[in-house]
Amino acid sequence: MSSRLIYGFHAITAKLRQDPESLKEILVDADRQDARARELLKHAELQGVKLIFADSKRLDDLAGGGRHQGVVARIEGARKLAHLDDVLDTLEEPAFLLVLDGVTDPRNLGACLRVADAAGVHAVIAPKDKAAGLNDVAVKTACGAAETVPYVMVTNLARTLRELKEREIWVVGTAGEADKDLYAAEWPQATAWVMGAEGEGMRRLTRETCDQLVSIPMHGSVESLNVSVAAGVCLFEARRRRS
């Protein structure tokens, strides 16, 4: 059976909890002695997963420049879509999610995954219909982020957003006509940021389900941004405030 690599504490911890049998081995930076590393090692030992201590250069080479945080795992089998409840139930901090409504270009999906990884997003959510799948084009564009950021496809996006709200996750939609812009608006730490397709924006029911709408202030002649650029602007402002 073929194998592939995943890296980062969140991705590997989630895999340990959801599908430990698929893990062939975990390589850990020998210099990491912190509580997070100890907890992962303990969990891996309980699951009987092979542990290998490695230096940072080997981990850098394996991750191909990705942000591995000192831990890389080799897993068996093809890439699988994540389940939202599994992602949320493993979080140790307020949820930070990206929701894509109507993004059908796999290159845009890959770019959004890359932005989400860089901003520390816990998962990217999209509807199963009228949405790009996690194909080879998206994975290549994501530059490794497809392995580190869970991609969740749901049957009914509006219902999923309502379920997030029941978990006290604030749903923030982006719209050019919103009353407040990104820098004037306030929101709690636990958030799901909703981006619509370039040009069309969010669908009506998605928009109506949001707790809040914000706009990105535009100072030039163009009226909108590519979805991955817009996601980057919003997610990094949210990350700045979380810090």
Q: What is the pLDDT of residues 4-55, one digit of tens each?
A: 787 888 778 877 887 788 889 999 999 998 999 999 999 999 999 999 999 9
Tokens of 219: 């100072």
What mean pLDDT do residues 68-76 have? 88
| pLDDT tens figures, 108-137 | 999 999 999 999 999 999 999 888 888 767
% of the chain surpassing 90 pLDDT: 63
Distance CA 87, CA 95 (A): 9
Nearest to 71 by CA among 47, 52, 84: 52
**Model pLDDT, residue 136:** 65
Consult the annotation and say whether 225 binds a ligand: yes
Please indicate, yes or no, whether residues 181 and 127 belong to a single structural domain of this protein: yes
Q: Which of 163, 233, 240, 242 lies closest to 195 in space, CA to CA?
A: 233
Q: Is 216 annotated as a binding residue?
A: yes
Q: Which of 50, 76, 102 marks a domain boundary? A: 76
219 and 176 part of one domain: yes
Residues near 170 by beta carbon (within 8 Å), at least 6 away in sequence: 187, 188, 190, 191, 192, 211, 212
Mean pLDDT of the chain, nearest integer: 89
Residues 49, 146: one domain?
A: no
CATH assignment at residue 10: 3.30.1330.30
Query: Distance of alpha carbon 52 from its chain centroid, rounded?
Result: 27
Please give the residue range of the domain that contains residue 120: 84-242
Asked which of 12, 42, 76 is the last residue of a domain, the reply is: 76
- Residues 104, 72 within the same domain: no
| Single pTM value for the model | 0.73
Q: Are 231 and 203 in contact (CB under 8 A)?
A: no
Task: Using the structure block, give the residue that is written with the tokens 């009226």.
Answer: 223
* Domain identity same for 102 and 215: yes
Q: Do residues 160 and 177 both lie within one domain? A: yes
Question: Number of structural domains, the chain?
Answer: 2
Which of 29, 54, 76 is the last residue before a domain boundary?
76
Q: Is 196 annotated as belonging to a binding site?
A: yes
